[in-house]
Amino acid sequence: MPRFFDLDEPYRIMGLFTELLDIAHRPGHKTATDYSTMILICEIAADFQQQQKKDDIINTRVSQIKEWIRLNMNKELKVGDIANQFEVSQNYLSQSFHRETGITVKDYLNTLKLDKAKYLLLTTNLSIQEITDQSYFSDYKYFFRLFKKKNGMTPREYRNTFTNTFLNNPDIDPGYDIGKIVSILERGVNRNELFD
């Protein structure tokens, strides 16, 4: 157990602690004091384990949500649509997703789309408009602004900067983690080292 953590059921634990203090102040009840102490420690440990299980369930749920978003990013997804799919409220989805990933659902979806756009910029000769469409952005201007904001350069500048790193080879298996490949390519790693 960690040295510090928040109790899930603080009133129950405080009640047991109060009982322990009461028993400990009675003369000649050493066995009862030991027994009460053991119960208190067991309850604290059980509380902690229950919290760990909840965290694991939330982590698993967020992983499922992330995978579902990835598989359905070609649709016009809204937080409400995702919440409905997983039968949770929008607030719960937003809060638990942000707590576990550090980003919002919308930022995650945009990151996936931008990774796909960067991949297409590096592996194809498609126009920026075609890449916008194939990256599931419905608005070219929004795509352009978001791309520039997140990458510090326009899509065309990005393509021109990294063209020497990756010679626009469309024969790469798209089953690979596109974000990872793009990250490696941006560092200038040899293409032959990508899929080892």
Residues 145-170, mean pLDDT to the nearest whole number:
77
131 CB burial (10 A radius; 0-12, 13-18, 19+): buried
**Residue 168 confidence (pLDDT):** 45
Cite the DSSP H helix spans in 72-176.
79-85, 90-101, 105-123, 128-134, 140-151, 155-162
* pLDDT for residue 172 is more than 50: no
* pLDDT for residue 146 is more than 50: yes
pLDDT digits (tens, 9 = 90+) for 86-126: 888 899 889 888 988 889 999 999 999 998 998 888 888 89
* pLDDT for residue 73 is more than 70: yes
Q: Work out the pLDDT band at 173, boundaries 50, 70, 90.
A: very low
The winner for highest mean pLDDT among 4-8, 32-36, 169-173, 174-178 is: 32-36
**Residue 53 confidence (pLDDT):** 64
Stronger pLDDT, 100 or 166, i.e. the higher one: 100
The per-residue pLDDT of the chain, averaged, comes to 80
**Residue 42 confidence (pLDDT):** 87
pLDDT digits (tens, 9 = 90+) for 8-54: 666 777 777 777 787 888 787 788 888 888 888 888 888 777 766 65
**Residue 166 confidence (pLDDT):** 45
* Residues 10, 16, 20: CA angle, nearest 5 degrees: 140
How many other β-carbons are positioned within 10 Å of the β-carbon of residue 127? 11
Residues 139-167, mean pLDDT to the nearest whole number:
84
Q: Look up the pTM and report it.
A: 0.57
